[in-house]
Structure 1
């Protein structure tokens, strides 16, 4: 065989070997890409995303789209070729696998965590929206979680409303720990509670709870100190004057909070806050309406623009990253609170977009 032919054959075989290795060898990376975007004012899966009963609602037009990021699964292992392609692709982001799936958490734990974040974002969106509209929202202290093997296990349950500890009224979650730690480990402490099922039934039927129970527990020593504990985490729950349900499956995390809150405001007010325009956005929201940053902003702006969005409500702390590569035709509107977002929407509605607070790279 001529030397030139042998050299070409050897090179071809080497190239094939490298390609095979690239396809077969897994690398410790995962990929993020633009995910689905859903109009909170519209329907998803055949039913309205926002369902409100017991209060007057108004017709809406336009779009207030929440945005998502699609990620490769926890068990999926990219090969070298896929990783290189992802690094070169404009709209995708390749990150270390441990960034999305930490080694100290199982896939089930991560799914539970994102589901809880999504549920909490819905709750905060409702509270922020109603407070923005001046509609009263009730608050109460509840048992948020019970530690396995603790004195409270089997006696107190998640969702139980804590009315008092040792006869002292409880007004906020921190009161519970303060009252319990007045005791020494081994001493008894009493809780006045409304059982979770009764509390839920009373809220659904718009009545006062009919049952209150006194529960007495023996405190134990905290694992990390000498203080007394009973093994519960206290939290805050809200009661609403009417029913607001958010129906959106297969979504996790807290980043849709702002868009849910704006959708609720739009449905509860006669003003058409979008002016019929296509607006998308993202951001966490707390009970007081403060908007927080999220991950994957670059993918979310791409996903929003590809569906037709012209304006994107962007958390202040995400502005710099989003502005580095803004999709053509998309205006990034900087927001810090739900009030900021509503003011900007009013400007968009009136055609005053030149005066919008926009994101800059600096």
Structure 2
């Protein structure tokens, strides 16, 4: 072999080795893929209804109201390699997103999972509240402290199970309004919190600290949840699924079970969307993967948050009809129209 041929051979091998090594380099991206779907009108693994209601008559529905999920691969401590990320970019059913989209900076995987679990628990309470309000059944509401972060302004001042009454004299509505009121303050500014503990009303003035996710926002270091007083008992069993995006489907299942007849008309309906106690539906992430998961499972209609309509309509799976849902009431109205053939089924506009 000539010196030139030998040099070319060695160079080629080096390029190949470097390419292989480069392909295995971890990259700060996460792969999102279609996850499982679960029928909120069905049964959990122990054979009991996924949504159990006590204290009021319930009505059966043989159709489906499935909530959808997104599976992920990657994240801190288990990053994707470059080859896997590139392969995901070429796959129409996979979304490759920056790591901080799923795992915010300065938060561990465990912290994110804990937050997702709390969001799921909170979304269930919000779903019950929204469904009962839609049915004109009275609901009481409080905001309570779940935990207090050590070393933060609320440490030693507030504690678990304290019920917040007012922020700077303004009556507390729900967790979102409390967060918004506190985060309006810049770090170092004071906030006055009125709360109830052991049946007694108290007041504490706290100086806000900078948020880890946004140093321009003030925080006091508490994790909060909406607590409601319901006239009936509702239990939702979903296993280890986390996040708030099943709220709309939980609300629909509760509404369906508490009203005579079938909301689905026996159809396979799937969907997604967060829910507020007032029944407002919020946008979510991973809409493309959730639509794919729904169609794979057999869904023919998909309830889509209004804020996700444009993205969803741009690449909807064949055979899946998108129904726009901006509120629980509009979702119920559209499902009624779909079942009866009377009225209007709200649709996501197409370009």
Give your verdict on TM over 0.5: yes
CA contact (8 A) 1:131 1:288 kept: yes
Deviates more, 1:127-136 or 1:233-242: 233-242
Superposed CA RMSD in Å reads: 3.7
Distance 1:25 1:287, change over 3 A: same
CA distance in 1, matches of 2:193, 2:38: 47
Tell me, which stretches of 5 or more residues in structure 1 are unaligned? Answer: 179-188, 196-211
In 1: Cα distance, 2:291 partner to 2:245 partner: 13
CA deviation after TM superposition for structure 1 residue 320, in Å:
0.6
Aligned to 1:81: 83
In the alignment, is the contact (CA less than 8 A) between 2:153 and 2:207 conserved in 1? Answer: no
Is the counterpart of residue 276 in structure 1 residue 266 in structure 2?
yes
Instruction: Give, in angstroms, the shift of residue 117 of structure 1.
Output: 1.5
For the Cα contact (< 8 Å) 1:283–1:315, is it kept in 2? yes
The Cα shift of 1:235 comes to 6.7
Question: Aligned partners of 1:266 and 1:244: how far apart in 2?
Answer: 13
Change beyond 3 A, Cα 1:86–1:334: same
Q: Which moved more, 1:309-318 or 1:13-22?
A: 13-22
- For the pair 1:65 / 2:54, whether they are aligned, the reply is no
Equivalent in the alignment of 1:107? 109
Choose from 316, 323, 326 the match for 2:313.
323
Note the C-alpha offset of 1:336: 0.6
Give the whole-Å Cα distance in 1 for the aligned partners of 2:19 and 2:29: 18
Q: Bigger CA drift: 2-11 or 137-146?
A: 2-11
Q: 1:159 aligns with which of 161, 179, 202?
A: 161
One of 305, 319, 326 as aligned partner of 2:295 = 305
* Residue correspondence of structure 1 range 212-227 to structure 2 within 5 A: 212-213=199-200
Aligned counterpart in structure 1 of residue 348 of structure 2, from 334, 356, 359: 359
Aligned partner of 1:93 in structure 2 is: 95
| Gap change, CA 1:344 and 1:11, over 3 Å in 2 | farther
1:155–1:215 contact (8 Å) kept in structure 2: no
Closer, same or farther in 2 for the Cα pair 1:286/1:151, shift >3 Å? closer
The answer on whether the counterparts of 2:154 and 2:206 sit within 8 Å (CA) in structure 1 is no
Match of 2:52 in 1: 51
Preserved CA contact (<8 Å) 1:38 1:44: no
CA contact (8 A) 1:321 1:361 kept: no
Q: Aligned equivalents of 2:14 and 2:245: distance in 1? A: 47
How far apart in 2 are the matches of 1:119 and 1:126? 11
Q: CA deviation at 1:303?
A: 0.4
Distance across 2 between alignment mates of 1:94 and 1:54: 46
1:129 to 128, 131, 137: 131
Deviation, structure 1 residue 304: 0.3
Structure 1 residue 350: Cα displacement: 1.7
Distance 1:8 1:276, change over 3 A: farther
Shift of 1:351: 3.8
Contact 1:124 1:287 in 2 (8 A): yes
| 1:95 Cα deviation from its structure 2 partner | 1.4
The residue number in structure 1 matching 2:333 is 343
| Structure 1 residues 85 and 137, CA gap change in structure 2 (3 angstroms) | same
In the alignment, is residue 252 of structure 1 matched against residue 239 of structure 2? no
- Residue 68 (structure 1) shift: 0.6
**Structure 1 partner of 2:283:** 293
Aligned-residue offset at 1:79? 1.6
CA apart distance, 1:250 = 1.5
Any gaps of 5 or more consecutive residues in structure 2? 183-191, 211-218
1:32-86, Cα deviation, whole Å (9 max, x unpaired): 0001110001123233210111111111111000001111142222122211110
Q: Is the 8 A contact 1:164 1:193 kept in 2?
A: no
Note the C-alpha offset of 1:140. Answer: 3.5
Partner of 1:200: none
Alpha-carbon displacement from aligned partner over 1:104-157 (angstroms, at most 9, x marks no partner): 212222122212211221111000000111111122354465464579756753
